[in-house]
Amino acid sequence: SVIEQGGASFSHVFGENLPASATQHRPDLKGSHFEAMGVSCVIHPINPHIPTTHANIRLFIATKPDGEQVWWFGGGFDLTPYYLDTEDAVQWHQVSKACCDQTDPSLYPEFKKWCDEYFYLKHRNEARGIGGLFFDDFNRFDFKTCQAFTERVGKAFVDAYTPILTKHKADPYGVRERIYQAYRRGRYVEFNLVYDRGTLFGLQTGGRTESILMSLPPQVRFGY
């Protein structure tokens, strides 16, 4: 009655050669054996006043041809409102900041900026949403600290999104709002199919296509 389409997926994949999507920023890892696991969550609500949201946390372990092993965490979460509520935006980023500050106060401004820059449609010259957190190649602390931070990001996502969903699930809307929602969802589709590294990684590693594309909304409009 609230979520039009939502998915939560777990993946655990292995391979002899890291695909191009994973070595884009790490050319030294080309030809490495890899193991990757992650949890992804995407929610497309029915009510246009509830934002679409996405979260992902993941762990990569790569073994270079010389036997050296490299690990890193990645992930984050972002919010895509169709009708902006300033209070929601403030609360979303307050939870994001509190999550980061428990590990290091310098993380929030860095990962917020990274999120803003990553979820950006260059061909439209516009942001996909209001951002949140995004990080990759995260291994600047010891393994236990990095793992704890990544797990905290997953829990913070629930804390940040649940009040927003609850607040707006009974907001009135009609056909006009649903049409606009479908139009804006088109931007979501464009980003995921053109830029998203997670989508590319899943397809390049031979993952289950239906699971990889669960992030796409069920109803969308491309008006001219």
Burial 138-171 (b: 16+ CB within 10 A, else e): beeeeeeebbebbebbbebbeebbeebbeebeee
The catalytic residue among 25, 33, 44, 54 is 54
Determine whether 54 is an active site residue. Answer: yes
Instruction: Count CA within 13 A, CB hemisphere, residue 223.
Output: 7
With beta carbons less than 8 A apart as the criterion, state whether 82 and 53 touch: no
- Nearest alpha-carbon partner for 6 in 34, 47, 45, 36: 45
CA–CA gap between residue 76 and residue 140 (Å, rounded): 16
Helix, strand or coil, per DSSP, at residue 200: helix
Cβ within 8 Å of residue 171, ≥6 positions away: 47, 49, 50
Residues known to be catalytic: 54
